[in-house]
Chains A and B, each alone.
Chain A
């Protein structure tokens, strides 16, 4: 019984860490335009819309976070092998991993923006100075939370995988969940704030991203502030639910019927999410209605 209570406590803690990690990951990627919306940031100068948006996308979020989390976890593991306290080891490992992220962000921005020189897009040195540190701070939160939850899974819950491998797996899953959930909100709702609410961006508007703020030109910290409220929170909830429910069903139900209990609970949860998804879909169709009359659309 004590083991189960301890397991539930650790599970709750990993879920909380994952929620913070997901939220920080999405905000970091939005400030750096690392998700799929980077295509518009890259396209805008080619269409004649010069901007001051930070763009550090040279890899997708999942492999990038897989690398940074595995790097942080590997270094933390090495520090722990040198008898350094676990918390200090994770902090040190993550700090070193964040420096790699900073180098990546700087070279990516310089490379991507320099390639747009023929369209007149300048490389802004002040953007590197002000944005890179902000993305590094958010990346530190995301990497630290992910490595910490992997340490809990490995050390407290006894998962067989070593810490760096767990961090690689959950880093990739973090990037996948964060980019899947957060990208549309940044790509459509923020970059194309000048388009109609409640509709997708017409393909003909591609590249015409919003470049001006209430005062002066819009910068990427504004974007992070805006997207964090819904995109970041949704990404955090998404990754938090994934980590929490995956561990929760294992800890509580794996001993029932030699593993079949956890499988049954997993199937039940998939069915519950399916019903919720269908409810959301039908709710939107009923409340928002169609864009055109059905006959016209079929024709």
Chain B
């Protein structure tokens, strides 16, 4: 087939075989975890997987315009997908970890709100710079009308560009993305912290109070690492830039959910294996 005759690749098609392989891999990893640690380990792994999926899904909401946005050539925030999601989610993790002693529910919601707040401030400041620093109004390149406010978009795009700034739907998408990413990161941290707090005293022959700083540090490092794994994985799914939930690329999220679940399961399993004795 010549290049001319080849079908254009949308890049967003869902491959059922790959999805099925992903689900099978996920089940195998869960089974392996159940075999080595049926109670504590499996509970922690499920927490890690749910957290990873939340990060992967949340990253799709974050409006990222990359290099074109830095020249006012495309809407979104002028930075990378993974980096912005990581910045917001880690700010959430910071708050969530602080609230860990108040219980899982409060800590996860606190983490989510921390991520959402970071994104709300950042998105507001982005529009501030566009409007008051550069004299450019916000306009979407993907829809004719903002799905939330109904504002028309096309006539506010300057000549030769695909839009610029953050229309309201992108702002809302950014906040939702920050909330999901922050909550996901905190959930991973709490799942691993509970596991390490329970297993480190026996493993190290020390008291709970002595192992707590080590448990917090190791769980925190794994949470940051898993965060970056899921954010980068999702960035590959988005391929470059995305305007938010109204962007056609948003429909690719099922792929990222499966990929994030498998990647989180594998990484989480490694995080569990460092404290669990293998049944020989």
Assembly CA distance A204 to B161 (angstroms): 9
| B224: A residues at CB distance < 8 A | 165, 168-169
**A181-B126, A266-B114 known; A161 vs B99 contact (CB < 8 Å):** no
Is the Cβ of A176 less than 8 Å from the Cβ of B121?
Answer: no
Rounded to whole Å, the gap between the CB of B216 and the closest CB of chain A is 5
Closest to B95 in A: A246
Rounded to whole Å, the gap between the CB of A269 and the closest CB of chain B is 6
Assembly CA distance A168 to B70 (angstroms): 25
Q: Which among A35, A161, A198, A206 has the highest number of chain B CB atoms within 10 Å? A: A161
| A39: B residues at CB distance < 8 A | 67, 70
Q: Could you mark each residue 198-230 of chain A with 1 if its beta carbon is under 8 Å from any beta carbon of chain B, else 0?
A: 111111111000000000000000000000001
Is the Cβ of B78 less than 8 Å from the Cβ of A202?
Answer: no
Q: Is A58 located at the chain interface by the 8 A CB criterion?
A: no
Q: Is B200 located at the chain interface by the 8 A CB criterion?
A: no
Q: Is B199 located at the chain interface by the 8 A CB criterion?
A: no
Is the Cβ of B160 less than 8 Å from the Cβ of A285?
Answer: no
Q: Could you mark each residue 123-143 of chain B with 1 if its beta carbon is under 8 Å from any beta carbon of chain A, else 0?
A: 111111111111111100000
Q: Which of B10-18, B35-43, B81-89, B252-260 contacts A (4 or more CB under 8 A)?
A: B81-89
Assembly CA distance A296 to B159 (angstroms): 13
**A246-B91, A270-B116 known; A281 vs B110 contact (CB < 8 Å):** no
**A165-B221, A181-B122 known; A40 vs B71 contact (CB < 8 Å):** yes
Which parts of A40-98 form the interface with B (CB within 8 Å)? 40, 60-63
Closest to A187 in B: B70
Rounded to whole Å, the gap between the CB of B148 and the closest CB of chain A is 10
Which parts of A149-196 form the interface with B (CB within 8 Å)? 159-162, 165-166, 168-170, 172-173, 175-177, 179-189, 191-192
Q: Is B158 located at the chain interface by the 8 A CB criterion?
A: yes
Q: Is A119 located at the chain interface by the 8 A CB criterion?
A: no
Q: Which of A107-115, A120-128, A233-241 contacts B (4 or more CB under 8 A)?
A: A233-241
Assembly CA distance A290 to B157 (angstroms): 8
Assembly CA distance A176 to B83 (angstroms): 6
Is the Cβ of B161 less than 8 Å from the Cβ of A36?
Answer: no
Closest to B215 in A: A160
Is the Cβ of A169 less than 8 Å from the Cβ of B93?
Answer: yes
Is the Cβ of B161 less than 8 Å from the Cβ of A201?
Answer: yes
Rounded to whole Å, the gap between the CB of B56 and the closest CB of chain A is 18
Assembly CA distance A170 to B92 (angstroms): 11
Contact of A179 among B79, B118, B121, B216 (CB under 8 A): B79
Is the Cβ of B102 less than 8 Å from the Cβ of A259?
Answer: yes
Assembly CA distance A281 to B162 (angstroms): 18
| A162: B residues at CB distance < 8 A | 213, 216-217, 220
Rounded to whole Å, the gap between the CB of A259 and the closest CB of chain B is 4
Rounded to whole Å, the gap between the CB of B222 and the closest CB of chain A is 11
| A37: B residues at CB distance < 8 A | 67, 70-71
**A161-B97, A274-B171, A285-B151 known; A280 vs B216 contact (CB < 8 Å):** no
| A242: B residues at CB distance < 8 A | 91, 117-118, 121-122
Q: Is A1 located at the chain interface by the 8 A CB criterion?
A: no
Closest to B193 in A: A160
Contact of B155 among A62, A197, A294 (CB under 8 A): A294
Q: Is A106 located at the chain interface by the 8 A CB criterion?
A: no
| A203: B residues at CB distance < 8 A | 68, 73, 160-162
| B123: A residues at CB distance < 8 A | 273, 277
**A188-B72, A242-B122 known; A159 vs B79 contact (CB < 8 Å):** no
Is the Cβ of A200 less than 8 Å from the Cβ of B71?
Answer: yes
Contact of A293 among B151, B155, B166, B220 (CB under 8 A): B155
| A280: B residues at CB distance < 8 A | 124, 127-128, 131-132
Q: Is A6 located at the chain interface by the 8 A CB criterion?
A: no
Q: Is A250 located at the chain interface by the 8 A CB criterion?
A: yes
Q: Is A137 located at the chain interface by the 8 A CB criterion?
A: no
Assembly CA distance A254 to B99 (angstroms): 8
Closest to B92 in A: A246
Is the Cβ of A201 less than 8 Å from the Cβ of B72?
Answer: yes
Contact of B66 among A36, A161, A293, A294 (CB under 8 A): A36
Closest to B149 in A: A278
11 contacts between A and B (CB under 8 A): A187-B70, A191-B71, A200-B163, A245-B121, A254-B99, A259-B106, A266-B117, A274-B175, A277-B124, A277-B171, A288-B135
Please name 17 further chain A to chain B contacts, defined as beta carbons within 8 Å, in addition to the given A179-B79, A184-B72, A202-B160, sorted by A numbering.
A35-B70, A169-B90, A172-B86, A179-B78, A181-B129, A184-B126, A200-B71, A203-B162, A254-B98, A270-B175, A274-B171, A274-B175, A281-B166, A284-B165, A288-B136, A290-B155, A294-B152
